[in-house]
Amino acid sequence: MTPEFNSQIAELFERYQPLSETAVDRVRTAAVMSADFIAAAKKPIDAVTETTLRLNKISHESLAKLVKAQSDMVEAAVDAASRHLSTAADAQSWKELVDAQMSLVPSERDRIVKDARRTLEVFADAREDVKDVFQIGPDRVTKAAKRARTTAGKTATTARKKATATKRRAKKVVRKTTARKTTARKATTRRTRKAA
């Protein structure tokens, strides 16, 4: 290679080397920023995971309570059926049978009400547990309310603009239609006058 060519290459290398170093520095900075962003995204994922695990635990515990209550209800119903059959077998007359069966009705009613209350208590406990999972502080409520007001304001503004634009278009159509009718009437009038 010629010395001129070598000097031109050296000159180009000196001129563009700082640009390449700047580009490498920018790529490095972008990589660090991306890593920070990804690390920051980990916190919400951890929060969602924790919340999901807590909800799963509440669900399983509530389901276990419901299954236990259901089992107790079935056992009580079987016991009640057994009592009804025993009293029916022991009855000596129709009157005695009816009286014995009627004497069992209040205890059956109480048992059914107790079972229903127990089931409702399981659901109420589950509701409270879920409410505790999603309990938010007053500062988050305030921020959410501000966001809701801002969103509502923007939505209302957009709706007003759309309504105004629609009214303008409607007026324009009415003006055009009226102008066409007027022009048509004038033309009809002219024709009738010429014909007469």
Higher pLDDT, 170 or 18: 18
Contact (Cβ atoms closer than 8 angstroms) between residue 130 and residue 77: no
pLDDT at 62: 92
Smallest Cα–Cα separation from 58: which of 136, 135, 127, 134?
127
pLDDT tens across 107-122, in order? 889 999 999 999 999 9
86 vs 80: CA distance, rounded Å: 10
**Please, which pLDDT band fits residue 56 given cuts at 50, 70 and 90?**
very high
- Taking residues 127-153, what's their average pLDDT? 68
pLDDT at 167: 62
134: left (phi over 0), alpha (psi -120 to 50) or beta: alpha
- Taking residues 81-94, what's their average pLDDT? 89
Q: Is the pLDDT of residue 161 over 90?
A: no
> What is the percent of the chain with per-residue pLDDT over 70, rounded to a whole number?
69
**Please, which pLDDT band fits residue 135 given cuts at 50, 70 and 90?**
confident
Q: Is the pLDDT of residue 140 over 60?
A: no
Q: Is the pLDDT of residue 175 over 90?
A: no
- Taking residues 63-77, what's their average pLDDT? 92
pLDDT tens across 27-37, in order? 888 888 887 77
40 vs 36: CA distance, rounded Å: 6
